[in-house]
Amino acid sequence: MTISPSATRSRVTRTALFFSRYEVMVSILLGFFAFFNLMDLLSTSFALRSGLQESNVMLLGMAAAIGVNVIVIMALLKVIFVAGTVVLGVVGVKSANLKIRNMAMYSILAFLFVFVYVALNNVIIILMSQ
């Protein structure tokens, strides 16, 4: 049995469409991830300036151990989180293995959900404290 050239072209086109959609989706997710990390940082900064206290014991411990302000350590961690997630996205985009691509996409999505929750939680707490 031989494969016709049109069937091969069709398969190549479907594969190209899948990869282009995947790259667009990863880019959109990474953009939202960066936005909600920035929103978390800004809302935390606003809350601290408004007199609220940081309750993340791990974050407070790291800031005390390094000897910097909570916002500085939080900004550093945000840069690390975003950079790590971008690396995860690049691994997914560059991989030809569908399982790796899916794992990268779902991991980014899970991280995004966490930071959406954290950022919105900050905003709600700020609004309730006013």
Task: Say if CB 115 and CB 33 are below 8 A apart.
Answer: yes
Q: What is the pLDDT of residues 4-61, one digit of tens each?
A: 555 556 666 666 666 578 888 999 999 999 999 999 999 999 988 888 888 888 889 9
Sign of CA dihedral 110, 116, 95, 90: negative
Number of domains in the chain: 1
**Coil vs helix vs strand at 80:** helix
Residues found in the chain: 130
Instruction: Give me the amino acid identity at 72.
Output: V
Q: What pTM did the predictor assign?
A: 0.78
pLDDT (tens digit per residue) in 48-82? 888 888 888 888 999 999 999 999 999 999 999 99
Residue 11 belongs to domain spanning = 5-129
